[in-house]
């Protein structure tokens, strides 16, 4: 399996622009997670899905952030409008979700480094 695939790897945009980050989870995985990593706040869980349904979005910082999972093989995280403080590395992870222990094993993508100027 190719693992979790994220695109783009790097994104540079100007303040106020819309940014869309993409994620393809590992085939057969039921859970998908979006994280944000910064030096100041470390690794933060933004939102996660189970079988394409958002379960917990309490980590989404504000209404400018939205995430969708239209099918089992694709998810997007959108920021509109973007702000300089959104600059971070955004990770997508997926997990099998077949039984309690394996449900917790998350496999991470390589991340998208976002710079908002």
- The contact set with other proteins (CB under 8 A) reads 4, 31, 33, 42-43, 45, 48, 50, 55-56, 91, 93, 95, 97, 100-101, 103-111
C-beta closer to other proteins: residue 78 or 103: 103
Q: Coil, helix or strand for 86?
A: helix
Per-residue burial over 88-112, b = 16 or more CB atoms within 10 Å of its CB, e = otherwise: bebbbbbbbbeeeeeeeebbebebb
C-beta closer to other proteins: residue 33 or 65: 33
Q: How far is the CB of 91 from other proteins (least distance, A)?
A: 6
> What is the Cα Rg of the chain in Å?
14
Host H or E run for residue 37:
strand 31-38
Q: How far is the CB of 45 from other proteins (least distance, A)?
A: 7
Q: How far is the CB of 109 from other proteins (least distance, A)?
A: 5
């Amino acid at each position: 399996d190719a693992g979790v695939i994220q695109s783009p790897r790097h994104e540079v945009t100007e303040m106020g622009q819309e940014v869309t980050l993409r994620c393809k989870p590992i085939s057969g995985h039921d859970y998908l997670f979006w994280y944000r990593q910064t030096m100041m706040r470390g690794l933060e869980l933004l939102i996660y899905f189970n079988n394409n349904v958002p379960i917990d979005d309490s980590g989404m910082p504000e209404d400018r952030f939205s995430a969708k999972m239209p099918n089992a093989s694709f998810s997007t995280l959108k920021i509109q409008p973007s702000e300089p403080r959104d600059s971070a590395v955004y990770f997508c992870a997926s997990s099998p979700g077949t039984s309690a222990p394996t449900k917790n094993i998350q496999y991470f993508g390589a991340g998208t480094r976002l710079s908002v100027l």
